[in-house]
Structures are given as structure tokens and as C-alpha cells.
């Protein structure tokens, strides 16, 4: 008798190899490869127009790929989109809600569409509306809800069928900090139950907080891959001090960092930045050089993102 290995937690649910997609003469994806493992929160990051939404749509067959291999739950979305969609809960970038319908009635309709048995529909909808703090608005028309409430309702819709993968395409864009926190908590809860999440976001703090692993997509290809901590260590270790932008600070930053290989400088919209191995080291270094920073901070995922994708605005910005 053969015994199946019981530990399948690292099995990959999604595998993309050299995926390409062209829209006419626009090559949106030029050979993107990554995998999503069972039980992880996987981040797909990249600048506007990097191809994140296109990749997501390819995963559930809403967009066809031009080339490459895609495997989702062992199925190919080019031929098995229906079976794949049944197991995905998607929070699309735009809400795409029927604004004339009432909240509860609309979710009951979706519950029927995703095959929840009639006897269980009401309880499931109620449970999710409560989880998203929307139960008190069940009778309101969707158009009467605020933007944050509509976004939470899209989460309800995505969670109805108890998906194996929750796909979140910029779930918290435009939301106030309290709503973002609330949604982060729900995503964490979903993850703690062993579910898998695919997240795209432009908020690097969101990615740093939620993602176990992520890739940075740039100009159609994966440019970096790893855990947030690992990427920071690899691309931007240490800490950064920011000096006000001025010619004098620029000249000084160049001069003092030229004299010590542990330190370097760059300029961005925040000002003149001096980078070094640790907060204490940068602080002491600048003090010795007679320079006064306006801010001192550890490197973060935003630094990695800018390092990997560049600090200039692209054609899509
Ligand atoms: N249906 C389409 N027809 C033509 N071009 C498209 C289509 N969908 C996407 N594109 C182009 O493909 C590229 C990638 O778009 P996509 O929406 O996937 O980017 P994104 O990474 O999701 O960007 P954002 O962060 O702004 O949401 C862009 O250049 C976009 O203009
Ligand atoms: Mg997008």
C-alpha cells in the first residue's frame, strides 16, 4: 500500500511559466513566471500598467494568454475556466456591482449563482454581511452605500462560495485607514484558516504586512521574488536618512558617501537620502559629517519597489 504524503502545505496551486500577452502591438506580459503555494498570501506588485490585472484575468480564463503555460489547481484556464472560477473568489479592481439592487437581495442572487443550497443561502449571506459589518445595510440599495461599504460588499461576494484562493486586485485602493484595517483583519482571518490569497496592491505597507511572498512585475517580467523581509535584505538593507533637497546637501551627501563604502546616497521626491547599514550608524555618520537629517527610518518594501522598478514615471503614469 502506498501512503500519500500528508504534508502538502507547500504544494503549488498556481503555476505560471513564461506567460506572454499582447494586445495588438502592446506586449503587456513578456514571459512572466511564478507559483502560488497552498496556504500563503502571495503578492503581485508592479507599477501601473505592469500587467497585474491581465495576469489575474488569465488565471481564471477571462483573458486568453498569447503564450506560455498556466496551471491553476492542475487545470488549464484556456480550457477549464468554469471549473477554476468555481474555486476562486475574486475581488476585481472595479466593483462591478448592480447598483440598483438591494444589498441582501443581490448577495442572495450571487449565492444561488455559485450553487449554495437554498436552505443555507440566507445564513451564509447573513454571516458574511456581519463579518464585513454590513448587516445593518442589508435592505439598502447598493448605490446608497459609501465606497468603503461597496468594497466590503465585493468581499462578501468573493467569499460566498468559500473559495480555495481569494484573489484581491487592489482591494483597499481609495479606502480610509479604518476600513483598510478592517479588511486586513478579515484577510488575516481568512489566511489563518489555511486559505490561499493572491493580492495585488500599490500600498507597500499592505504588502509588507499581509504577504508571505511576493513578486515585483515590471515591463512584463518578474524582476524580484521573495518574502518582504528577504527582499529588503537583498535590495535595500539598512536604514535611510533624509536631508532636505538642496544643492548644498546634494554636494555634501556625495562627498561624504564617496569617502565611506558603507554609505551611499540617492535623491528622490522626499529629498536627498543617505543610506547606511543601520539607524545608529547612519545617525552617527551624519552627525560626524555635520549634516542634519529631517527623517531617519529603516528601509522598507517601498525602497525595494523603487529600486527594482526605477524612480522615474513610466508611460502609463
Ligand atoms: N483589453 C485591453 N486592451 C488593450 N490593452 C490592454 C487591455 N487590458 C490591458 N491592456 C494593456 O496592458 C497593459 C497592462 O495592463 P493591466 O491592467 O494588466 O496593468 P496593471 O498592472 O493591472 O495596472 P494598474 O496598477 O494600473 O491596475 C497596459 O499597457 C494596458 O494598457
Ligand atoms: Mg490592475
DSSP 18-52: EEEEEETTEEEEEEEEEEEETT-EEEEE-STTSSH
- State the CATH class of domain 238-298: alpha beta
The residue nearest atom 7 of ligand 1, judged by CA position, is 23
- Cβ atoms < 10 Å from Cβ of 285: 19
The answer to whether 266 and 242 have CB atoms below 8 angstroms apart is no
Is the pTM here over 0.95, yes or no?
no
How many whole angstroms separate alpha carbon 68 and alpha carbon 252? Answer: 50
Asked whether this chain's domains 12-232 and 238-298 adopt the same fold, the reply is: no
What are the DSSP calls for 115-157, one per residue? T--HHHHHHHHHHHHHHTT-GGGTTSBGGGS-HHHHHHHHHHH
- Atom of ligand 1 lying closest to residue 54 CA: 18
Cell of 88: 476562486
How many whole angstroms separate alpha carbon 86 and alpha carbon 161? Answer: 8
How many whole angstroms separate alpha carbon 96 and alpha carbon 98? Answer: 7
Q: Give the mutation target among 21, 50, 169, 199 for probing the ligand 1 site: most ligand atoms within 8 A of CB.
A: 50
How many whole angstroms separate alpha carbon 93 and alpha carbon 95? Answer: 7
Nearest to 101 by CA among 160, 143, 153: 143
The residue nearest atom 12 of ligand 1, judged by CA position, is 28
**Residue 194 phi/psi, 5° resolution?**
90, 10
**pLDDT confidence of residue 153:** 96
Q: Give the mutation target among 32, 44, 49 for probing the ligand 1 site: most ligand atoms within 8 A of CB.
A: 49
- Atom of ligand 1 lying closest to residue 93 CA: 27
C-alpha to C-alpha distances, 105 to 9, 128, 142, nearest whole angstrom? 37, 14, 10
What is the residue extent of each domain of the chain?
12-232, 238-298
Residue for cell digits 443581490? 106
The residue nearest atom 16 of ligand 1, judged by CA position, is 51
Q: How far is CA 305 from the centre of its chain?
A: 12
pLDDT along the chain (317 residues), means of 10: 45 96 96 97 96 96 97 97 94 92 97 94 97 96 95 95 95 91 93 94 95 96 97 94 94 93 90 95 93 94 93 57
How many whole angstroms separate alpha carbon 43 and alpha carbon 200? Answer: 6
The residue nearest atom 28 of ligand 1, judged by CA position, is 49
CATH architecture group of domain 12-232: 3-Layer(aba) Sandwich (3.40)
For the stretch 233-249, what's the b/e string if a residue is b when 16 or more beta carbons lie within 10 angstroms of its beta carbon?
eebbebbbbbbeeeeeb
**pLDDT confidence of residue 6:** 42
**pLDDT confidence of residue 8:** 45
What are the DSSP calls for 195-221, one per residue? -EEEEE-S-HHHHHHH-SEEEEEETTE
The conformation of residue 194, written as its DSSP 8-state character, comes to T
For the chain, where are the alpha helices, taking DSSP H only?
52-59, 77-86, 103-113, 118-131, 147-159, 177-192, 204-210, 228-235, 247-258, 279-289, 301-309
CA of 20 to the centre of ligand 2 (A): 16
CA of 70 to the centre of ligand 2 (A): 19
The conformation of residue 168, written as its DSSP 8-state character, comes to E
**pLDDT confidence of residue 314:** 54
The answer to whether 55 and 44 have CB atoms below 8 angstroms apart is yes
Amino acid at each position: 500500500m502506498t501512503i500519500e504524503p500528508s504534508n502538502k502545505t507547500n504544494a503549488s496551486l498556481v503555476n505560471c511559466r513564461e506567460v506572454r500577452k499582447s494586445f495588438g502591438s502592446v506586449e503587456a506580459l513578456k514571459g512572466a513566471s511564478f507559483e502560488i503555494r497552498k496556504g500563503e498570501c502571495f503578492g503581485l506588485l508592479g507599477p501601473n500598467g505592469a500587467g497585474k490585472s491581465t495576469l489575474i484575468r488569465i488565471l481564471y480564463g477571462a483573458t486568453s494568454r498569447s503564450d506560455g503555460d498556466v496551471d491553476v489547481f492542475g487545470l488549464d484556464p484556456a480550457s477549464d475556466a468554469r471549473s477554476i472560477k468555481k474555486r476562486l473568489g475574486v475581488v476585481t479592481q472595479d466593483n462591478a456591482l448592480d447598483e440598483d439592487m438591494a444589498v441582501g437581495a443581490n448577495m442572495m442572487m450571487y449565492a444561488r449563482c455559485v450553487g449554495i443550497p437554498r436552505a443555507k443561502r440566507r445564513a451564509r449571506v447573513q454571516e458574511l454581511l456581519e463579518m464585513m459589518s454590513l448587516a445593518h445595510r442589508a435592505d439598502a440599495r447598493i448605490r446608497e452605500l459609501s465606497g468603503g461599504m461597496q468594497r466590503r460588499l465585493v468581499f462578501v461576494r468573493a467569499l460566498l462560495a468559500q473559495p480555495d484562493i481569494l484573489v484581491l486586485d487592489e482591494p483597499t485602493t481609495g479606502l480610509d485607514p479604518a476600513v483598510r484595517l478592517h479588511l486586513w483583519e478579515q484577510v488575516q482571518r481568512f489566511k489563518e484558516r489555511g486559505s490561499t490569497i493572491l493580492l495585488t496592491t500599490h500600498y507597500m505597507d499592505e504588502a509588507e504586512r499581509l504577504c508571505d511572498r511576493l513578486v515585483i512585475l515590471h515591463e512584463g517580467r518578474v524582476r524580484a521574488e521573495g518574502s518582504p523581509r528577504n527582499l529588503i535584505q537583498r535590495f535595500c538593507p539598512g536604514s535611510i536618512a533624509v536631508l532636505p533637497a538642496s544643492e548644498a546637501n546634494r554636494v555634501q551627501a556625495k562627498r561624504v558617501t564617496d569617502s565611506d563604502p558603507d554609505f551611499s546616497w540617492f535623491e528622490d521626491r522626499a529629498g536627498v537620502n543617505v543610506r547606511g547599514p543601520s539607524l545608529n550608524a547612519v545617525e552617527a555618520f551624519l552627525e560626524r559629517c555635520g549634516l542634519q537629517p529631517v527623517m531617519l527610518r529603516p528601509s522598507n518594501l517601498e525602497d525595494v519597489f523603487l529600486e527594482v522598478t526605477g524612480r522615474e514615471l513610466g508611460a502609463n503614469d
